[in-house]
Structure 1
């Protein structure tokens, strides 16, 4: 079932700090992952067809953004007992298979997803240099779980605008994807 991300936090909300284990086996703090001109926090998982549909473009966009002073981090918050395809070992495989150039972290307690108000995968949060929320939207237009050919790269363009001006786009379309798989 597809869910659209909501607006639990208004634009301008300051990112909640966190420390989570990465697929590299090390702990990572938001303060250390923060980009000079912006930070992209993406809630994703391994099994979601919506994530699978955009992940290679996301990896490419994040590489381009890193060269422009915007760092990205991906967080997996699903219940791995109920969804073993999202296990930590499978996260390592997924990151390697898609050539992640950014940290991929596991939110075992789901506290970070709750703090951010994440509801689906992918759920995209774009922050300015001071970690104020400037973008809460989608990667790009989708038709089902497939990207629309030639569609505007909304996440990429939003983060470039934030890096350049400190402001997000006036129009933002909520992300759509699979619901976060919450623990009972």
Structure 2
């Protein structure tokens, strides 16, 4: 069983899931969702090759004071990744991102994950404003952000030559309550 208390103090738990430090043995579980083209269809990355996932996990294992890059855990099962990071220290601004294995979609885990990321951002990283972006076609992620209290602040037309496949990115924002 994983240790619920992260050594860096950047863990969080809710009624259904918890966020915990990644471990080296997480590679198969991470690659299961990171290589899935359906999971990555609205992301600016992926689907991953094994080397991409190995690089991600190696980075996730390095503790950094300006971010919380966490495994999303349902009991002892890793079901996704979640991160909150500082984008502007002076302005106390940050951003969140999350990805879940599609076998766990539709259960409220993404909304719970976003809420835990907000808690980490505001309470642990000391942020005053947190943003999030998503592909304009990703209705599920838009609902997650809205349910978590984010407000739509703008739209950004993407470069049609971009490798991400996005035509438009939605920009969301939330301030400390």
TM-score by length of 2: 0.29
TM-score by length of 1: 0.28
Q: Which has the larger Rg?
A: 2
